[in-house]
Amino acid sequence: MTTAPAPATEAPVPVWRNVKTIGVIAQVLFVLLVVAGIGVLVNNVTTALARANLPADFSFLGQRAGIPIAETPIRYTVTDSYARALLVGFLNTLKVAVVGVVFASLLGVLFGVMRLSTNWLVRTIATVYVEVLRNIPLAVQIVFWYAAILLPFPPRINNPITLPGGMLLSNVGLAMPWVYPTYRFGAWVPWLVAAVVLAVAITVWRRRDLARRDVVGAVWPYPLVTFALVAVVGYFVASADRAVPAGASVDYAADRGRGTVYRQVDGTREPLSFTPVRVRVESAQLRATSQNLVESRRRADSTVRFPLVFESEAEGIEVVFADAAAAEAAGYRLHVERFPSVSTVYVDRNGNGEFDAGEETNPETGTGYNGVEVLMNLTGFERVVVSDRDGQLRTPVFSAGAAPAQAEETAAPAGRGRFSAFGQAAVQESAETTLEASTEVLGVGPLVVSRATIPVSSFDGGASFTVNYLALVLALVIYTSSFIAEIVRGGIQAVHRGQREAAMALGLSPYQTFSLVVFPQAMRIILPPMISQYLNLTKNSSLASLAGYAELFVVASVVSNQTGAAIPIALLLIGSYLAISLAFSLVLNYVNARFALVER
């Protein structure tokens, strides 16, 4: 048995050389330094603010903002407060982020998988896509999509591209049908609540059942099917009574193209939101004058554009010159590009009876035949319009099917219609009836599909997205997808080759191998960096000012410029972005915990 040698007696470390003491002193010094620095800065700021007489607290938030915002997810007018304007900005940020994240993921996964294709061409395309797009600043890309591509996009508002499903795309934006809750929605709510409760209950039961039997199985089909069943049954029960509510009526003026749906309750008018109304106009005219436009990179002279009307909406449509005699005398002819809404005035100079390029331009003046009035005569026009949140309806502005001249003059206030000499003559020549419109409120279930229309020169009904929003989302999606593609490629390549080989050896098809074996394992590697890309996308949406879209940062900078409240706005912005970052890190932590390898 040996005893340890007695430790050599060390001289005690002097206090000033003790590591702990030094640490404490260093920290105290550091804190003092920081506090002193902050004190100086705060002092500077307060004196500077006092000198410039700028607000330093949040009391300005309640004042009237007066900031016009084009795209508002919630009700907002210029008379609302700064706080509400900022809220609209925040919601607009979320609107960009949510849609952007979904599409960036889809596009990113597509190109990430393409980069691993066995096909050389596909692989190369994906590589070029990724390399080009992630090496060009996002600011340049946003401006490119907004100012260089979408704004000069050829289809003007009255001549949109009609995509399947009733979507309309033009240089103003994109509109699509949308589902809205009607006044009858309340009847469906109990069913929805019941469906949710049942679904939750069934989830719990299924989880417990699986755990009790100690087997692996899918949980989600059970609650999902239950929810769908109860909700659908409830929908049909709720819409069994489709009667129009008592006292519902429409106040519609065809010559203004506007109306209100309301019902009389105790002598007061209560607007009916999202209510379908069938508008029928027996005989009416739309008027338009030819204009010279620049579309995209080419001139479009002498074009005539009416509000968008589909052929199926009327029993009879004809597009004619307002003054046929004067047009005949000047040699004008009408070339219909898109019946009945878009046409071109031209002079058949070469006399072949057809429209040839160049004939729409006057060789003497070098511009088109401007200001020629054209009429669209409609008989039996019928359209189902869904009122908006405030019960308002909009249709094209009809004029009476060529009423007597005197009536026309009194109907048109000074300065509204710029009637050409031709137009006046036409009115006098023809003698037809006055405008005759009828409306009918239609019965409806809990939900109604609102179709997007173009009553005058903007979208109405359905859901529409401004071109600013589209450009921003497009640029963000494409830019972010190039980063996501690299993450996806890296994740898939990181899955051990043996996994793929083993799956193939078990007889799985290439598709099964990828979707059941490789991809789920790759997801574990892909998700964390992908979520940080989502955060980047959300933060990058602050470049919205380049596309003229009012998101949080844009609204905040306008507010700051108006009020001079730099400090409160800075705090508000930092707080909002930190909250967003925090939300993303919470999701990230959850995903990390959920997808972590369960190790035995």
Residues that bind other proteins (CB under 8 A): 23, 26-28, 30-31, 34, 41, 43-45, 47-49, 117-122, 125, 131-132, 135-141, 143-144, 147-149, 152, 294, 296-299, 539-540, 542-543, 545, 553, 557, 560, 566-567, 570, 573-574, 577-578, 580-582
Query: CB of residue 123 vs other proteins: minimum separation in angstroms?
Result: 8
Query: CB of residue 139 vs other proteins: minimum separation in angstroms?
Result: 4
Closer to other proteins at the Cβ: 115 or 184? 115
Element (H, E) at 25: helix 19-52
The answer to whether 304 and 343 have CB atoms below 8 angstroms apart is yes
Query: CB of residue 5 vs other proteins: minimum separation in angstroms?
Result: 21
Q: For residues 81 and 565, what is the distance between their CA atoms, to the nearest angstrom?
A: 15
* The residue to which tokens 């470390």 are assigned: 13
Closer to other proteins at the Cβ: 232 or 582? 582
Query: CB of residue 371 vs other proteins: minimum separation in angstroms?
Result: 21
The β-bridge relationship of strands 178-181 and 447-450 is antiparallel
The answer to whether 279 and 269 have CB atoms below 8 angstroms apart is no
Query: CB of residue 158 vs other proteins: minimum separation in angstroms?
Result: 19
Closer to other proteins at the Cβ: 147 or 463? 147
User: What one-character DSSP code corresponds to residue 318?
Assistant: E
Query: CB of residue 30 vs other proteins: minimum separation in angstroms?
Result: 5
Q: For residues 501 and 411, what is the distance between their CA atoms, to the nearest angstrom?
A: 81
Q: Which residues contact 146 (CB under 8 A, 6 or more apart)?
A: 467, 468, 471, 472, 475, 546, 547, 548
- E-assigned strands of 356-485? 373-386, 392-394, 399-400, 437-441, 447-450, 463-466
Closer to other proteins at the Cβ: 157 or 452? 157
Closer to other proteins at the Cβ: 217 or 358? 358
Closer to other proteins at the Cβ: 404 or 529? 529
Beta bridge mates, 361 = 368
Q: For residues 324 and 402, what is the distance between their CA atoms, to the nearest angstrom?
A: 14
Query: CB of residue 566 vs other proteins: minimum separation in angstroms?
Result: 4
Closer to other proteins at the Cβ: 278 or 299? 299
Closer to other proteins at the Cβ: 381 or 483? 483
Tell me the residue type at 455. Answer: P
Which of 379, 325, 314, 368 is closest to 343 using CA atoms? 368
Query: CB of residue 103 vs other proteins: minimum separation in angstroms?
Result: 20
Q: For residues 118 and 494, what is the distance between their CA atoms, to the nearest angstrom?
A: 17
Q: Which residues contact 337 (CB under 8 A, 6 or more apart)?
A: 159, 303, 343, 344
Closer to other proteins at the Cβ: 143 or 244? 143
Query: CB of residue 573 vs other proteins: minimum separation in angstroms?
Result: 5
Q: Which residues contact 459 (CB under 8 A, 6 or more apart)?
A: 157, 168, 172, 173, 175, 452, 453
Closer to other proteins at the Cβ: 152 or 221? 152
DSSP for 404-433 reads -HHHHHHHS-TTT----HHHHHHHHH----
Query: CB of residue 179 vs other proteins: minimum separation in angstroms?
Result: 34
